[in-house]
Amino acid sequence: MELFGLSITRKKEEDLAQSKAKSFVPPESDDGSSVIAAGGYFGQYVDMEGTKAKDDSELIKKYREIALYPECDSAIEDIVNEAIVSNEDDQAVEIVTDNLDKYNDKIKKLIREEFNNVTKLLSFGSNGHDIFRKWYVDGRLYYHMIIDDKNPKQGITELRPIDALHIRKVRQVIEDKDPKTGAKLIKGYNEFYIYQDTIQGKSNTGLKINKDAIVYVPSGLLDQQSKKVLGFLFKAIKPVNQLRMMEDSLVIYRLARAPERRIFYIDVGNLPKGKAEAYLRDIMARYKNKIVYDANTGEIKDDRKHMSMLEDFWLPRREGGKGTEITTLPGGENLGQIEDILYFQKKLYKSLNVPVSRLEENQSFVLGRSTEISRDEVKFTKFISRLRKKFSELFMQVLKTQLILKGVITAEDWDSMKEDIVIDFLKDNYFAELKESEVIRERMNSLTMVDPFVGKYYSAAWVRKNILMQTEEEISDIDKEINQEAMESQQNDELAPPLEDDAKK
């Protein structure tokens, strides 16, 4: 295998992540990377209700398949539309550097400029919806960061997406032996990616790529038994299959029970059993029509190509009874019941954390006070916030590489500042704005009620901390702004000409 891709480490020794202390237990990985030791490759599989998925590629194929199902696609669109909001006036995502107090305004400005370059490389303004949907469906996202080898200080020249079916992250464990006991100890590990043109998991050969050249954004959901990254659609696999089976069975039942079918009593007289059966088959061949329902295409197949009743019944009748007779069997009377279908539709929406109320087309959305908003909408808002936090790793990883390549910061600087950088997504959820405005309004009402007692029973500092809920940092900043505005107002009054002089003129 060949090592391909950029590396932003300073020393080759840093490629090997050394453990602080040797142990017989390998370090845990929460990104689903495959573990490779000196003996070979350790594979795992996930068993889902009797359906075995040997590797990540089979899981991803299942996710993509169920994402095309109408009800599942509708739920996914609700999630993506809520997470990624774009309009003509504002950007879908921005970076906030207000918490970087250790760095000057020039560094903050450069960080904001490079972040804008990152969004342009991703074409996030026009493709943000598709990128987020791809990450949500597959449960992971890969990009190759392409740079100019002759001039790496120009930064990233292109971000090329990689199909998750053809790449996987690998962790190679470096083992050592304890000289006293002879036990195997974990010395460290190497991390890299393997790219294959064929479907991953078929072989252990491919192109070896440095981890710094790849942007990898997992879903954050990890199966504790197999240590594999799961997609957000993993919980929806079973409900989608059940819903599909119920819908197909309902269609088959309605086609079979809806029409009135005929019952033919054929008089066979005193014919022997063999001849009676042959005579009955001859009559059936003349009038019988076999109609079959195809569950894959939803079509009704009829090889005889003529219209007739469905599934007639043919019964022989001996001499001495009634002669040949044709009667009808009534059709089903409970064909309008679809409670089972609705149950599995709701179960599907619950598995995806989408409010069930959004499944009903006639359900109106009422804009009222936050107390009137359902609990499911509140939970859905928090779920979207968690998804945005996970997805923001895409911007953070690319921004890190961009800043280090252009010499704006060092790798050590990034480790100290990454927790203070905030990726802000444009919000379109009315509940968030409604809740914020309602909180401010309630605080103002409480302040109005307490204001006559300030200086007598309550101090101004107590009111600001307990009524307005201001922190010490916010109090200090607000006081500075008030003093600054007062000084500017005083300066403007001094510079303004007197009104009497203007009147005389």
Angle between helices 124-138 and 70-83 (to 10 degrees): 130
Is residue 228 a contact partner of residue 44, using CB atoms and an 8 Å limit? yes
What pLDDT score does 318 carry?
72
In the three-class reduction of DSSP (H, G, I as helix; E, B as strand; rest coil), residue 453 is classed as: helix
Q: Is 248 left (phi over 0), alpha (psi -120 to 50) or beta?
A: alpha
- Would you list the DSSP string of 200-241? TTS-S-SEEEEGGGEEEEE-SEE-TTT--EEPTTGGGHHHHH
What pLDDT score does 500 carry?
56
Question: Does the pLDDT at position 336 exceed 80?
Answer: no
Tell me which of 225 and 82 has the higher pLDDT.
82
Phi, then psi, of 139 in degrees rounded to 5: 80, 5
Q: Mean pLDDT, the chain, as a whole number?
A: 78
Q: Which of 330, 336, 337, 373 is nearest to 355 (CA)?
A: 373
Phi, then psi, of 149 in degrees rounded to 5: -60, -30
What pLDDT score does 371 carry?
52
Question: Does the pLDDT at position 372 exceed 80?
Answer: no
Q: Say which range, 32-46, 107-121, 140-154, 354-368, has the weakest mean pLDDT.
A: 32-46
- pLDDT band, very low/low/confident/very high, at 16 (cuts 50, 70, 90): very low
Structure-token pair, residue 462: 């107590």
> pLDDT for 309-323, tens place per residue?
456 667 777 766 677
Is residue 79 a contact partner of residue 137, using CB atoms and an 8 Å limit? no
Structure-token pair, residue 121: 């490389």
Q: What does the angle CA 362 – CA 363 – CA 366 come to, to the nearest 5 degrees?
A: 135
What pLDDT score does 308 carry?
43
- Determine whether 314 is exposed, middle or buried from the number of CB atoms within 10 Å of its CB (0-12, 13-18, 19+): middle
Average pLDDT over residues 105-114: 90
CB atoms within 10 A of CB 145: 23
> pLDDT for 384-407, tens place per residue?
999 999 999 999 999 999 999 999
What are the extents of the domains in the chain? 3-233+366-432, 259-329, 434-496
Secondary element (H or E) of residue 88: none
pTM for this prediction: 0.71
Q: What does the angle CA 165 – CA 45 – CA 161 come to, to the nearest 5 degrees?
A: 15
> pLDDT for 445-502, tens place per residue?
998 999 889 888 889 889 888 888 888 878 888 988 998 888 888 877 777 666 555 5
CA distance 220 to 372: 33
What pLDDT score does 477 carry?
85
CA distance 442 to 446: 6
Question: Does the pLDDT at position 270 exceed 90?
Answer: no
What pLDDT score does 369 carry?
53
Phi, then psi, of 121 in degrees rounded to 5: -60, -35
Is residue 424 a contact partner of residue 171, using CB atoms and an 8 Å limit? no
Q: What is the DSSP letter of 85?
A: -
Q: Which of 179, 177, 167, 87 is nearest to 126 (CA)?
A: 87
